[in-house]
Structure formats: C-alpha cells, structure tokens
Amino acid sequence: MFHIFIKSHFSAGHHLRNYPGNCERPHGHNWKVEVTVKATELDNLGMGIDFRTVKEAVNKVLENLDHHDLNEHADFQSINPSSENIAVYIFNNLQNDLSADRYGVHSVTVCETDNSGVTYFGP
C-alpha cells in the first residue's frame, strides 16, 4: 500500500453564517491543501500515480476556489464554506480524475493556518 501526496494552496475570502464570533464577518485565508492518493500497486514505471497527475487534478479543482468569495460559490450557497466543507468539496471533485483500479483519493487536508486544519477521508 502506498500513500502518495502533494501539497498546494489557494487564497480566498469567506465568512461563516450564524457563527457566534468574529468569523461571521468577511475575512480571508491562505489555505494550505494536502491531497493523498492511496495506491494498491505500482505501474510499470514503479509509481503508484505520477505526482504530475495529482498536481494537475488538484490545480483544476483549486482554480474554482482561488481568489473567490467562497460564500458566492454555487457549492457553498446552502452550507458554510468551513474548512471541513472545503475539504469535502475538494475530495469529491477529485474523484473523477484520481480514481482507477489501483489508486484513489485517500484524504484531503485543508489548513486555514499553520496550526489549524482538518483532514477528510471520504464517506
């Protein structure tokens, strides 16, 4: 079993609706994202999945979040754009590009700061 990961980031604004504190006001973060793909076997080049493939898929998803007001994003109209919900959004949107017989998305970690974040492992 192999866990292949890449790290990336995006910047965006948001606010948490009905939050009992200052996070209810609009603010922004430089989110750090780590995506891990689990591979059960290696390909003929000795790789579980090419880092480039993972990076391209992640970049495609993060382009939809980067430098946006996440509260205006279609997927966050009825739910708060919390780190937890952002991790689920990224995980779900990677499924098509990062799923095959021998590998699939294992987890997505989203950090608002260097000291706080969340990891989602899927349903």
Give catalytic residue positions. 23, 67, 112
- Give CA–CA dist 15/23, Å, rounded: 6
- In sequence order, which ranges of 26-108 are alpha helices (DSSP H)? 51-62, 83-94
Q: How far does CA 87 lie from the centroid of its chain?
A: 5
Residue-wise DSSP of 85-113: HHHHHHHHHHTTTT--SSEEEEEEEEEEE
Cβ–Cβ < 8 Å for 36, 91: no
Instruction: Bin 63: left if φ > 0, else alpha if -120 < ψ < 50, else beta.
Output: alpha
